[in-house]
Chain A
Amino acid sequence: MSGLDLKGLNDTAISTANALEVDDAVALSASGADSMIRFANNSVTVANRVEESELTVYLAKNRRRALASTSNLQSAAVKEFVRDLFSSMGGLPESDYVPLPDRPARYTPSKAGYDRRLESLEDDLPEMAGAAIAAAMAAGGTRSAGVINAGKVTVAILTSSGTQGIDSRTAITLNIRSFAEKEASGHGLSCSSSLSGFDPEEAGRRAGEGAKTMREASEPDAGKYTVLLSPTVASNLVETVAGAASAFAVDAGTSYLADSLGKKVAARSFSLTDHGVTEGGLGGRVFDDEGVRTRSNKIIEDGVLKGYLHNLTTASKWKVKDTGNAGFVSPHPWNLELEAGDSTYDEMVGEMKKGIVLTSNWYTRFKNYRTGEFSTVPRDGAYLVERGEIVKPLKGMRLGDGLERMFSSVTLLSKHREWIQWWEVDTPTLCPWMLIEGATITRAYG
């Protein structure tokens, strides 16, 4: 995989496109290698290794735009691929076209977020999985299921105006659930861009402890509660805020943040930033898909919506500066960071008169993205708090709310934050614990 010449691939694509006298062309070539071990019932279920490469080409000619990707990377095939893409553009309609920047940029790889030790770690994954399982058992779980995923991705860009660059990222993540009798379960995560930040034992311990403490769980009464969301739960919902901040979503009618620029959309303590590259970030790169330098963009600052995420087309439409978040079609976040507060977990629990601590969730679905009304299903560790003390474990409930109402009711955030990326959170998110007043909890009939 390391032998693949991404720059050479881009040269072939762009020289072919230039010969066709296109107005704009971008070649983005990527190669990735991922190693994965999955386990269930304390036993390995499969060990995976996937190595893939892909070339994506964007062409614009006479306001017609086309995008295509291929995994056939032989030089002759790439030339034919670009010519075929160009030929297919004849029947296209004119569209919103914004030229690529005239001034060529050169990007050197960011040093953040790369650990060479993660390039090929498959032989070590079974031992790490074993350590997580053992820690879960020691903490009270009887059987565990999970996955460790370690990998790297390298992306190179070349545009018809001469912008070029290359950047790489590595990441290692563990998602573990531990189970005990009476359907009790707990959840643990460890997510890092470097091996030194990866702690499978701690994730296993949390999962095992969750399982142990959930054995006598009962269903809560439906009603309004103060809820304390773990970084895992909070980042799942924060990611939907960033999705709503995409200018494409705003235009498409699928954003609750439409018509809210400069307005208060969250509590004063709520500040959300997207970083193209950041220390410890598991995703992102120094350039976006259109060759624009990525940067840090404040989405919400002190509760006020500061801006949307843009590519060249949406920025032109909104008459603002591009934010370096292309996607050719839809702008998207790279690494999200929610500002920390100054509370400890114990202080936050101590603030709750009657509330629920939620440590994990899944299946967040929206009734209406325009209004931000959603519900999500808590799972694993969940606990009733009365007068500042955890009194019993809970199960069988649903959290339903509106994003703006909920984030406007944030009263405390923790000092402690964690990077989260797992099955329910695509965009790496650095997130604290979050205390929210007046959340609606429901339970099933029957």
Chain B
Amino acid sequence: MSAVAAPSVYAGGASVIAVGVLLAEFGMFRQALLRDQVRLYAAQSALISVLAVLVAAARHLPELYVLGALSAGLKVVIVPLVLRRLLRGIGRTGGQDGAGRDGAGAAADAGPGWTDIAGSGSLSVASTVLLAIAVAAFGFFAVGALDIHSPVLPPIALSISVSVSLVAFVLMIMRRDVASQAIGFLALENGISLTALVVAAGMPLILEVAFLFDLLVAVVVFELLIRVHHGRADSLSTAGLTRLRG
């Protein structure tokens, strides 16, 4: 896999999928509706599952088939379902008592666009994307300079996976509604899964399964707390979360 020779089909395909994961994350920046963001998250997770299966086939690591299937089941099907159910439930209650809501800080889900995403108050979408590109580039080159070689995937995949994680932080920081922040966290988890696939493909399956189970628990708790937040603030916006300071 030297820099001069053309990459093999496997290496090229794997890199393309890794880039796809990163692009899906950038796609999340421009989505205006939560529903679309959940869809992008599912697509991103699907890409990672495909990559797991690809590595399993090319490198003869049968455990990764199981991991790919489990992670697809959880992250492409179950988690998006949980999130959609949550958004539907919130949309219903939000629609009913939306009229009596006071306007302060509740702009995020006013009117029929109840799942509008509240972007950063200080940066436009374009500036946010520029910031994310800068962060991604930093991660990409910083990790490229490290002396860490993946046993199964081309080195570029590690750089991309770290970029995915860093961009997820931008996503979490720049969004001002609880559901998008939760999706930012899930995207971070996807970035970490990708990193795990690159540098720790041989990790025992039982641990990987435990990580996935843990993700499921976390998602359920996130969902509960989003409901709590929505129940109190009658909005997904975090603009009102300024009581505790000092």
Whether A associates with B in a native complex is no
Which residues does B use to contact A, with CB under 8 Å?
A: none
